[in-house]
């Protein structure tokens, strides 16, 4: 067979295309657009757990975890492809190398979770927001979605607030603070980091947790050709 992926699909903006409690039979790769893993509390509050960009597996973990402990929502229109779990199982039986890369990809997700935990628990609100911008900048640049220090971030402040565990108002003021420090500019969907070094210091950002070796791209590459 030519590819591990079994199909492709468009997801409209704002659709929660994977739901908490689901038992997916396939794992989903984000081909384009932005998505977020999301968890809701019984009081209606929402917390995002990761923001996904082009090239990310959004629920590779469901292959072994079976039941989704969170949903995945399309923050923009998204294009996705998917790999049946059966195929993943076959990969783990026959291709140890690729298996380790898939495993690694989920480990990087966990490393991102850990940085977020530090942001939520111990960073100031400016540093918290700044850290996310650093993370997104690096991840987007790896997949060729940046232009110098600029990138498109088609996400509302309400969504960003859910990604940072704060209220919209407070998030807005944090952005204002970063602007006033001359660290960033933000017009519509266009974000520009005006002072990378300054932002990195403010946010205590160290990119090494992201493993810039283009893991996900390599992954998609390996699963595409007739190697499987």
Partner DNA sequence: CGTTTACTTGAATGCTCTCAACCAGCGTGG
Partner DNA sequence: CCACGCTGGTTGAGAGCATTCAAGTAAACG
Q: Which does 70 bind (CB under 5 to 8 A by kind): DNA, a second copy, none?
A: a second copy
Question: If 0-12 CB within 10 Å is exposed, 13-18 middle and 19+ buried, where does residue 58 land?
Answer: buried
Pair 17, 11: CB distance under 8 Å = yes
Nearest to a second copy of 9, 214 (CB atom)? 214
Q: Which of residues 2-41 bind a second copy (CB under 8 A)?
A: 37, 39, 41
Nearest to DNA of 64, 169 (CB atom)? 169
Q: Strand order of the sheet with strand 146-147?
A: 146-147, 150-152, 190-193, 184-187
Q: How far apart are CA 184 and CA 103, in angstroms?
A: 35
HSE-CB for 143 with a 13 A CA cutoff: 25
Q: Hey, which residues does 79 pair with through a beta bridge?
A: 10, 32
Question: Does residue number 170 form part of the binding site for a second copy (CB under 8 A)?
Answer: no
Question: Does residue number 211 form part of the binding site for a second copy (CB under 8 A)?
Answer: yes
The β-bridge relationship of strands 35-40 and 146-147 is unpaired
Applying CB under 8 A, among 12, 96, 158, 225 the residue interacting with a second copy is: 96
Question: Does residue number 158 form part of the binding site for a second copy (CB under 8 A)?
Answer: no
Nearest to DNA of 89, 176 (CB atom)? 176
Q: Which of residues 114-143 bind a second copy (CB under 8 A)?
A: 114-118, 120-123
Nearest to a second copy of 93, 180 (CB atom)? 93
Question: Does residue number 69 form part of the binding site for a second copy (CB under 8 A)?
Answer: yes
Q: Which does 180 bind (CB under 5 to 8 A by kind): a second copy, DNA, none?
A: none
SS (H, E, C) 43-86: CCCEEEEEEECCCCECCCCHHHHCCCCCEEEECCCEEEEEEEHH
Q: Which does 8 bind (CB under 5 to 8 A by kind): DNA, a second copy, none?
A: none
How many residues at the interface with a second copy, by CB under 8 A? Answer: 45
The β-bridge relationship of strands 71-74 and 35-40 is antiparallel
Q: How far is CA 164 from CA 36, 121, 129, 168, 188, in A?
A: 12, 11, 7, 10, 19
Nearest to DNA of 1, 41 (CB atom)? 41
Question: Does residue number 182 form part of the binding site for a second copy (CB under 8 A)?
Answer: no
CB of 185 to DNA, least distance (A): 10
CB of 176 to a second copy, least distance (A): 21
């Amino acid at each position: 067979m030519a590819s591990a992926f079994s199909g492709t699909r468009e997801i409209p903006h704002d659709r929660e295309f994977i739901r908490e409690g689901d038992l997916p039979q396939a794992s989903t790769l984000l081909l384009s657009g932005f998505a977020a893993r999301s968890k809701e509390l019984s009081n209606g509050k929402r917390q995002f757990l990761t923001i996904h960009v082009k090239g990310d597996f959004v629920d590779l973990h469901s292959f072994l975890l079976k039941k989704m402990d969170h949903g995945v929502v399309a923050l923009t229109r998204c294009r996705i492809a998917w790999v049946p779990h059966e195929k993943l199982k076959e990969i783990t039986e026959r291709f140890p190398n690729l298996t380790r890369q898939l495993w690694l990809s989920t480990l990087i997700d966990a490393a991102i979770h850990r940085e977020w935990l530090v942001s939520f628990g111990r960073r100031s609100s400016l540093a918290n927001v700044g850290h996310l911008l650093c993370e997104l900048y690096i991840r987007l640049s790896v997949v060729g979605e940046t232009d110098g220090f600029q990138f498109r971030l088609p996400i509302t402040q309400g969504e960003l607030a859910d990604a940072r565990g704060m209220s919209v108002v407070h998030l807005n003021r944090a952005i204002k603070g970063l602007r006033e420090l001359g660290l960033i500019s933000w017009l519509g969907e266009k974000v520009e980091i005006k002072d990378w070094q300054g932002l990195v210091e403010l946010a205590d950002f160290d990119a090494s947790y992201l493993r810039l070796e283009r893991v996900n791209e390599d992954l998609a590459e390996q699963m595409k050709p007739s190697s499987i």
